[in-house]
Amino acid sequence: MKDVSGKTAVITGGASGIGRATAEVLASRGANLVLADIEAPVLAETVAQLAAGGAEVTGVVTDVTNLDSVHGLRDAALAAYGAVHIVFNNAGVGGGTTISSSPAMWDWVLGVNIDGVVNGMTTFLPLLLEQNEGHMVNTASLAGLGGVPGMGPYCASKFAVVGMSESLWYELGMLGSNVHCSVLCPGFTKTRIHESERNMPDELKSVPLDPFSERAGSMAKQAVEGGIEVGIVADAVADAIVDERFWILTHERVALATMRQRLAWMEGGQPPRIDLGEAGRR
Ligand SMILES: NC(=O)c1ccc[n+]([C@@H]2O[C@H](COP(=O)([O-])OP(=O)(O)OC[C@H]3O[C@@H](n4cnc5c(N)ncnc54)[C@H](O)[C@@H]3O)[C@@H](O)[C@H]2O)c1
């Protein structure tokens, strides 16, 4: 898509962080916005602020884990703008270690981060393919390129997003389609991801954290707070849509080092030395 001006972008997790910043960049380039988020008051505030800045924007309260809710998002976007051209499956949450996560914690993280993307793909790909125009961006993470201690459910979900996005890229090529896709793999970025528990189901919120999970949570918080500014990620997403580029590696040096070190490990070398602080630097 050479120009996003006049196109309509649906962004899940659009009320905060990377989703919100990308909305600002796409609006500045002339796109109409449909922002979807589970947090109704924050979404309303974000929509009001963007509209006050001159953006053409609609907010739709959406739970990406619920297919009916995502169908409602599609219908609202079509009612507002008549077509959808860009879909950013970006809503996500973090929580839980591999060792101590309960089944409910696994369900929540995999539900938002995997089912949320699957629901976005099954709902919007038919529209994009039918009009033979569009771009889908799925948000994974550096944690989708290599295992990280203290975040097993999150890593599992982001590996899944990388895999399904690569498959989608090949399949769009097999079809000779004018629909394109990207996978976003950022390292740590200053957002509210380390406060994901604000959107946890109540039954999970009431379970006290064990010391191991608390330690992992405070390491992740420190790393997120030391991460890059969200605008860098937003610009990279908008540029990849215009350039029709698959990999969005906002922390390219660390991403490539991670892949090389894993390969060396598979070939009999040493396992990578994980430094969470390093994963927040470009
Ligand atoms: N911040 C980082 O360091 C980092 C690094 C790599 C990847 N990511 C990924 O970036 C994406 C955006 O996260 P962020 O960092 O901007 O965090 P954020 O918490 O600021 O934003 C995430 C948004 O998703 C929304 N959300 C949560 N559950 C939802 C649901 N069920 N339905 C709809 N919306 C829901 C939240 O309300 C929030 O507005 C996530 O997929 C995250 O995993 C973040």
Whether residue 84 contacts residue 60, with contact meaning beta carbons closer than 8 Å, is answered with: no
Q: Is 139 contained in some domain?
A: yes
Nearest Cα neighbor of 23 from 228, 237, 183, 184 is 237
Whether residue 238 contacts residue 31, with contact meaning beta carbons closer than 8 Å, is answered with: no
Q: What is the pLDDT of residue 33?
A: 98
Q: Kindly list the distances between the CA atom of residue 135 and the CA atoms of 3, 102, 127, 145, in Å, as whole numbers in the listed order.
A: 12, 36, 11, 22
Indicate if the pLDDT at residue 103 is higher than 90: yes
pLDDT digits (tens, 9 = 90+) for 226-239: 999 999 999 999 99
Q: What is the pLDDT of residue 51?
A: 98
In sequence order, which residues have a C-beta less than 8 Å from that of residue 123 and are 6 or more positions away? 67, 70, 71, 73, 74
Indicate if the pLDDT at residue 81 is higher than 90: yes
The first and second tokens of residue 165, run together, are 């996005």
Percent of the chain surpassing pLDDT 90 = 93
Q: What is the pLDDT of residue 207?
A: 87
pTM given for the model? 0.98
Q: Is 3 contained in some domain?
A: no
What confidence category does residue 27 fall into, taking pLDDT thresholds of 50, 70 and 90?
A: very high
Compute the distance from residue 13 Cα to the ligand 1 centre, in Å.
Answer: 6
Kindly state the helix (H) or strand (E) to which residue 156 belongs, with its residue range: helix 152-175
pLDDT digits (tens, 9 = 90+) for 135-178: 999 999 999 999 999 999 999 999 999 999 999 999 999 999 99
Q: Is 2 contained in some domain?
A: no
Percent of the chain surpassing pLDDT 70 = 100
Query: Measured between alpha carbons, how far apart are the two ends of the chain, in Å?
Result: 27
DSSP state of 68: H
Compute the distance from residue 62 Cα to the ligand 1 centre, in Å.
Answer: 13
Domain count, the chain: 1
Segments forming the whole domain that contains residue 256: 8-280
Question: For position 194, which CATH number holds?
Answer: 3.40.50.720
Kindly state the helix (H) or strand (E) to which residue 163 belongs, with its residue range: helix 152-175
Top mutation candidate among 10, 11, 12, 16 for ligand 1, by most atoms within 8 Å of CB: 16
Q: What is the pLDDT of residue 275?
A: 85
CA–CA gap between residue 282 and residue 259 (Å, rounded): 15
80-91: average pLDDT:
98
Top mutation candidate among 37, 66, 71 for ligand 1, by most atoms within 8 Å of CB: 37
Q: What is the pLDDT of residue 206?
A: 86
Compute the distance from residue 113 Cα to the ligand 1 centre, in Å.
Answer: 9
Whether residue 193 contacts residue 154, with contact meaning beta carbons closer than 8 Å, is answered with: no
CA–CA gap between residue 137 and residue 181 (Å, rounded): 6
Q: What is the pLDDT of residue 281?
A: 85
CA–CA gap between residue 95 and residue 101 (Å, rounded): 8
pLDDT digits (tens, 9 = 90+) for 205-220: 888 889 999 999 999 9
Cα-atom radius of gyration of the chain, to the nearest Å? 18
Q: List, by residue number, the catalytic residues.
A: 154
Q: Is 33 contained in some domain?
A: yes
The first and second tokens of residue 25, run together, are 């960049």
Q: What is the pLDDT of residue 89?
A: 99
For residue 103, the one-letter residue type is P
Indicate if the pLDDT at residue 273 is higher than 90: no
Q: Is 171 contained in some domain?
A: yes
Top mutation candidate among 18, 20, 189 for ligand 1, by most atoms within 8 Å of CB: 18
Compute the distance from residue 40 Cα to the ligand 1 centre, in Å.
Answer: 15
Residue, of 36 and 277, whose pLDDT is higher = 36
What confidence category does residue 282 fall into, taking pLDDT thresholds of 50, 70 and 90?
A: confident
Q: Is 126 contained in some domain?
A: yes
What confidence category does residue 277 fall into, taking pLDDT thresholds of 50, 70 and 90?
A: confident
The residues lining ligand 1, judged by C-beta closer than 6 Å to any ligand atom, are 12-13, 15-19, 37-39, 62-65, 90-93, 112, 139, 141, 186, 188-189, 191-193, 196, 199, 224, 227
Backbone angles phi, psi at 273, to 5 degrees: -90, 120
Compute the distance from residue 22 Cα to the ligand 1 centre, in Å.
Answer: 12
Q: Is 152 contained in some domain?
A: yes
CA–CA gap between residue 59 and residue 40 (Å, rounded): 9
Nearest Cα neighbor of 154 from 202, 206, 208, 223 is 223
Q: Kindly list the distances between the CA atom of residue 210 and the CA atoms of 100, 109, 189, in Å, as whole numbers in the listed order.
A: 8, 18, 26
Which ligand 1 atom is nearest residue 140's CA? 7
Q: What is the pLDDT of residue 191?
A: 98
Indicate if the pLDDT at residue 187 is higher than 90: yes
Backbone angles phi, psi at 110, to 5 degrees: -65, -35
In sequence order, which residues have a C-beta less than 8 Å from that of residue 143 and are 6 or more positions away? 151, 154, 155, 158
CA–CA gap between residue 224 and residue 1 (Å, rounded): 32
